[in-house]
Amino acid sequence: MGQCFSRDKSDGADSDEVVEFVGGNVHRVTSKEDWDQKLSEAKRDGKIVIANFSATWCGPCRMLAPFYCELSEKHSSLMFLLIDVDELTDFSTSWDVKATPTFFFLKDGQQIDKLVGANKPELQKKITAILDSMGSYRN
Protein backbone atom coordinates (compact mmCIF):
# COMPACT_ATOMS: atom_id res chain seq x y z
CA MET A 1 0.00 0.00 0.00
CA GLY A 2 1.22 3.54 -0.70
CA GLN A 3 2.20 6.19 1.77
CA CYS A 4 0.10 9.24 2.48
CA PHE A 5 1.88 12.56 2.24
CA SER A 6 2.10 15.81 0.36
CA ARG A 7 5.71 16.15 -0.64
CA ASP A 8 7.63 18.98 -2.20
CA LYS A 9 9.17 17.41 -5.32
CA SER A 10 11.19 20.43 -6.42
CA ASP A 11 14.94 20.06 -6.57
CA GLY A 12 15.63 23.36 -4.85
CA ALA A 13 16.51 25.06 -8.13
CA ASP A 14 14.56 27.96 -9.59
CA SER A 15 11.87 25.60 -10.88
CA ASP A 16 8.25 25.95 -9.90
CA GLU A 17 7.41 24.07 -6.74
CA VAL A 18 5.64 20.78 -7.39
CA VAL A 19 3.75 19.05 -4.62
CA GLU A 20 2.82 15.38 -4.95
CA PHE A 21 -0.64 14.63 -3.52
CA VAL A 22 -0.98 11.06 -4.70
CA GLY A 23 -0.55 8.10 -2.41
CA GLY A 24 -2.56 5.31 -0.89
CA ASN A 25 -5.40 4.42 -3.24
CA VAL A 26 -5.75 7.89 -4.78
CA HIS A 27 -5.71 7.83 -8.59
CA ARG A 28 -4.44 10.91 -10.39
CA VAL A 29 -6.53 11.87 -13.41
CA THR A 30 -4.43 13.47 -16.14
CA SER A 31 -6.85 13.50 -19.10
CA LYS A 32 -10.53 13.32 -20.01
CA GLU A 33 -9.89 9.80 -21.33
CA ASP A 34 -8.38 8.81 -17.97
CA TRP A 35 -11.49 10.25 -16.23
CA ASP A 36 -13.85 8.30 -18.49
CA GLN A 37 -11.89 5.10 -17.93
CA LYS A 38 -11.92 5.50 -14.12
CA LEU A 39 -15.66 6.23 -14.10
CA SER A 40 -16.32 3.15 -16.25
CA GLU A 41 -14.20 1.07 -13.89
CA ALA A 42 -16.09 2.41 -10.85
CA LYS A 43 -19.47 1.73 -12.46
CA ARG A 44 -18.42 -1.81 -13.37
CA ASP A 45 -17.18 -2.45 -9.80
CA GLY A 46 -20.16 -0.74 -8.14
CA LYS A 47 -17.96 1.90 -6.51
CA ILE A 48 -18.88 5.44 -5.53
CA VAL A 49 -16.30 7.93 -6.85
CA ILE A 50 -14.92 10.82 -4.83
CA ALA A 51 -13.29 13.32 -7.16
CA ASN A 52 -11.01 15.87 -5.53
CA PHE A 53 -10.49 18.93 -7.73
CA SER A 54 -7.33 20.43 -6.27
CA ALA A 55 -4.29 22.59 -7.05
CA THR A 56 -0.63 22.26 -6.11
CA TRP A 57 -0.46 25.92 -5.00
CA CYS A 58 -3.53 25.59 -2.74
CA GLY A 59 -2.60 25.58 0.97
CA PRO A 60 -5.86 23.97 2.17
CA CYS A 61 -5.48 21.29 -0.56
CA ARG A 62 -2.00 20.48 0.73
CA MET A 63 -3.25 20.33 4.30
CA LEU A 64 -6.04 17.91 3.35
CA ALA A 65 -3.99 15.68 1.00
CA PRO A 66 -2.67 13.24 3.64
CA PHE A 67 -6.18 12.89 5.15
CA TYR A 68 -7.70 12.23 1.71
CA CYS A 69 -5.02 9.63 1.12
CA GLU A 70 -5.71 7.95 4.49
CA LEU A 71 -9.42 7.82 3.65
CA SER A 72 -8.55 6.11 0.36
CA GLU A 73 -6.66 3.41 2.24
CA LYS A 74 -9.47 2.87 4.76
CA HIS A 75 -12.32 2.71 2.28
CA SER A 76 -11.41 0.49 -0.66
CA SER A 77 -15.10 0.18 -1.64
CA LEU A 78 -14.84 3.80 -2.86
CA MET A 79 -12.71 5.17 -5.71
CA PHE A 80 -10.67 8.26 -4.85
CA LEU A 81 -9.62 10.50 -7.74
CA LEU A 82 -7.44 13.60 -7.84
CA ILE A 83 -7.77 16.21 -10.58
CA ASP A 84 -5.35 19.15 -10.81
CA VAL A 85 -7.44 22.16 -11.88
CA ASP A 86 -4.42 23.79 -13.53
CA GLU A 87 -3.55 20.66 -15.47
CA LEU A 88 -7.13 20.07 -16.65
CA THR A 89 -8.48 23.62 -16.77
CA ASP A 90 -11.25 23.11 -19.34
CA PHE A 91 -12.37 19.90 -17.68
CA SER A 92 -12.50 21.57 -14.24
CA THR A 93 -14.47 24.46 -15.73
CA SER A 94 -16.96 21.98 -17.21
CA TRP A 95 -17.58 20.75 -13.63
CA ASP A 96 -18.09 24.38 -12.51
CA VAL A 97 -15.20 24.24 -10.01
CA LYS A 98 -14.86 27.72 -8.55
CA ALA A 99 -12.71 26.94 -5.48
CA THR A 100 -10.17 24.36 -4.39
CA PRO A 101 -10.50 21.85 -3.03
CA THR A 102 -13.90 20.81 -4.39
CA PHE A 103 -15.05 17.24 -3.89
CA PHE A 104 -17.69 15.60 -6.08
CA PHE A 105 -19.34 12.35 -5.02
CA LEU A 106 -20.48 10.34 -8.04
CA LYS A 107 -22.52 7.20 -8.48
CA ASP A 108 -22.66 5.72 -11.99
CA GLY A 109 -21.08 8.95 -13.24
CA GLN A 110 -23.84 11.12 -11.76
CA GLN A 111 -23.23 13.66 -8.99
CA ILE A 112 -24.88 12.61 -5.71
CA ASP A 113 -23.14 15.13 -3.43
CA LYS A 114 -20.55 17.91 -3.37
CA LEU A 115 -18.28 19.54 -0.81
CA VAL A 116 -16.37 22.78 -1.32
CA GLY A 117 -13.45 23.53 0.97
CA ALA A 118 -10.94 21.70 3.14
CA ASN A 119 -13.41 20.59 5.80
CA LYS A 120 -12.13 17.29 7.25
CA PRO A 121 -15.13 16.58 9.53
CA GLU A 122 -17.63 17.26 6.73
CA LEU A 123 -15.68 15.12 4.25
CA GLN A 124 -15.59 12.28 6.78
CA LYS A 125 -19.32 12.74 7.47
CA LYS A 126 -20.23 12.57 3.78
CA ILE A 127 -18.09 9.46 3.25
CA THR A 128 -19.66 7.78 6.29
CA ALA A 129 -23.15 8.59 4.96
CA ILE A 130 -22.25 7.12 1.56
CA LEU A 131 -20.82 3.97 3.14
CA ASP A 132 -23.94 3.61 5.28
CA SER A 133 -26.12 3.93 2.16
CA MET A 134 -24.08 1.17 0.52
CA GLY A 135 -25.04 -1.16 3.37
CA SER A 136 -23.44 -4.58 3.25
CA TYR A 137 -20.88 -3.49 0.66
CA ARG A 138 -19.17 -1.41 3.36
CA ASN A 139 -15.66 -2.43 4.36
pLDDT per residue as tens digits for the range 65-115: 999 999 999 999 999 999 999 999 999 999 999 999 999 999 999 999 999
Q: Is 4 a catalytic residue?
A: no
Please give the domain boundaries of the chain with CATH numbers for all domains.
18-133 (3.40.30.10)
Distance CA 82, CA 96 (A): 16
Q: Is 61 a catalytic residue?
A: yes
b/e per residue 72-81 (b: at least 16 CB within 10 A): bbebeebbbb
Residue 22: predicted pLDDT? 58
**Which one of the listed residues 29, 58, 69, 115 is annotated catalytic?**
58
pLDDT per residue as tens digits for the range 45-66: 999 999 999 999 999 999 999 9
Residue type, 96: D
pTM of the model: 0.84
Distance CA 122, CA 119 (A): 5
Distance CA 97, CA 95 (A): 6
